[in-house]
């Protein structure tokens, strides 16, 4: 649904008319996730973002970046991108729904800063 | 906001993409003020009940899109727009947002593609915009409303597909090879 059926006619790279936006986003996510992004500096342990578990104990989907408020370098987002598409698919298969409490908590936390 | 019936439209009217005509206005102050007004908008919507501001939705959408499309606005202001969009996903029923997604997604793409072409400097506002965009994407992926998916298909000119039963969705997905099939 997000993603065009890849057995359809091949699209030339410069044609965007039929290309799914989510396809493009998925490609970008993969690019961001690769370790060699623009000669990535090695991140120290304390540079890691605190990512939430993608699912609650009951299997509901929740935002991974829910508790992240600061970012000091782009490369900290690599784990988010590399896990995003996998976890999205896994979450949908289970279809336990959304952990709205986690969503709301994250939003309130951020808005009240 | 007990008197929100009067205050909300007033707040909305202060949100605009157009730069001030007043040459004496300090641009940085102006961006700060815009950010603050957007934050107030987000707060008002989050604090209200579901669909409380539905009547204002067309105006809210127009303003947010206007801001996203205006280059002269700062990254900080754009970040506030993405926060506002996340609030809207939680406080406005999905069916009201269907026509909104294509334009928002194309703006979102620009942020990511721009950051790849020209990575934002550590500690910059541009970097915080990427974070704001990621958090928005994060929430989109969590919520995955069917309306959002259908509108992405339709907006991209794909052949019309009949609505899929949620539980059979996975059959039509292109899977990354690492995902184990159930």
Report ipTM (2 d.p.): 0.75
How far is A85 from A111, CA to CA, in rounded Å? 27
Q: Is B47 in contact with B85 (CB distance < 8 Å)?
A: no
In this complex, how many residue pairs, one in chain A and one in chain B, have their CB atoms less than 8 Å apart? 133
Residue contact B131–A111, C-beta within 8 A: no
User: Please, what sign has the CA dihedral across residues B96, B100, B105, B107?
Assistant: negative
Burial of A106 (0-12, 13-18, 19+ CB in 10 A): buried
The pLDDT, as a whole number, for residue B3 is 60
The pLDDT, as a whole number, for residue B79 is 96
CB atoms within 10 A of CB B72: 10
Residue contact A2–B152, C-beta within 8 A: yes
Q: Is the pLDDT of residue B97 over 50?
A: yes
Residue contact A74–B120, C-beta within 8 A: yes
Mean pLDDT of chain B: 78
| CA-to-CA dists, residue B67 to A88, B39, B45, B76, B85, angstroms | 29, 14, 18, 11, 12
Question: Is some CB atom of chain A closer than 8 A to the CB atom of B38?
Answer: no
User: Closest Cα partner for B100 from A54, B92, A49?
Assistant: B92
Expressed in percent and rounded to 5, the helix, strand and coil fractions of chain A are: 45, 5, 55
Q: Which of residues 142-171 of B touch A (CB under 8 A)?
A: 142-144, 146, 149-150, 152-153, 155-158, 161, 164, 166-167, 169-170
The pLDDT, as a whole number, for residue A16 is 44
The pLDDT, as a whole number, for residue A105 is 93
Q: Is B106 in contact with A21 (CB distance < 8 Å)?
A: yes
Question: Is some CB atom of chain A closer than 8 A to the CB atom of B134?
Answer: yes
Residue contact A86–B179, C-beta within 8 A: yes
The pLDDT, as a whole number, for residue B140 is 85
Q: Per-residue confidence of chain A (113 residues) as pLDDT tens digits?
A: 444 444 434 433 433 433 456 567 667 767 776 655 455 555 555 567 888 888 888 888 889 898 888 888 887 888 887 776 565 555 555 577 889 999 999 999 999 88
Tell me what the mean pLDDT of segment B149-169 comes to.
40
Compare CB distances from B156 to A18, A32, A84 and report the shortest one's residue: A18
Higher pLDDT, A73 or B67: B67
């Amino acid at each position: 649904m997000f993603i065009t059926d890849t057995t359809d006619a091949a699209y030339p790279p410069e044609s965007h008319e039929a290309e799914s936006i989510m396809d493009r986003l998925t490609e970008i996510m993969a690019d961001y996730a690769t370790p060699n992004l623009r000669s990535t500096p090695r991140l120290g342990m304390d540079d890691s973002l605190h990512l939430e578990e993608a699912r609650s104990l009951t299997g509901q989907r929740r935002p991974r970046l829910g508790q992240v408020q600061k970012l000091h370098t782009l490369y900290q987002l690599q784990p988010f991108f590399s896990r995003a598409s996998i976890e999205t698919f896994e979450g949908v298969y289970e279809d336990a729904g959304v952990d709205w409490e986690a969503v709301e908590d994250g939003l309130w936390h951020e808005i009240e800063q | 906001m007990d008197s929100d019936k009067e205050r909300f439209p007033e707040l909305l009217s202060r949100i605009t993409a157009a730069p001030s005509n007043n040459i004496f206005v300090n641009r940085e102050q102006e961006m700060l003020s815009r950010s603050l007004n957007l934050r107030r908008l987000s707060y008002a919507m989050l604090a209200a009940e579901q669909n409380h501001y539905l009547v204002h939705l067309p105006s809210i959408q127009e303003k947010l899109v206007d801001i996203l499309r205006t280059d002269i606005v700062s990254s900080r202001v754009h970040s506030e727009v993405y926060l506002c969009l996340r609030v809207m996903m939680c406080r406005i029923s999905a069916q009201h947002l269907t026509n909104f997604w294509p334009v928002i997604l194309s703006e979102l793409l620009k942020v990511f593609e721009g950051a790849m072409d020209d990575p934002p400097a550590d500690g910059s506002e541009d970097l915080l915009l990427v974070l704001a965009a990621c958090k928005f994407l994060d929430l989109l992926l969590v919520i995955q409303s069917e309306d959002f998916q259908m509108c992405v298909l339709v907006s991209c000119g794909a052949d019309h597909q009949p609505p899929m039963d949620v539980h059979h969705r996975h059959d039509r997905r292109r899977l990354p090879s690492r995902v184990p099939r159930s």
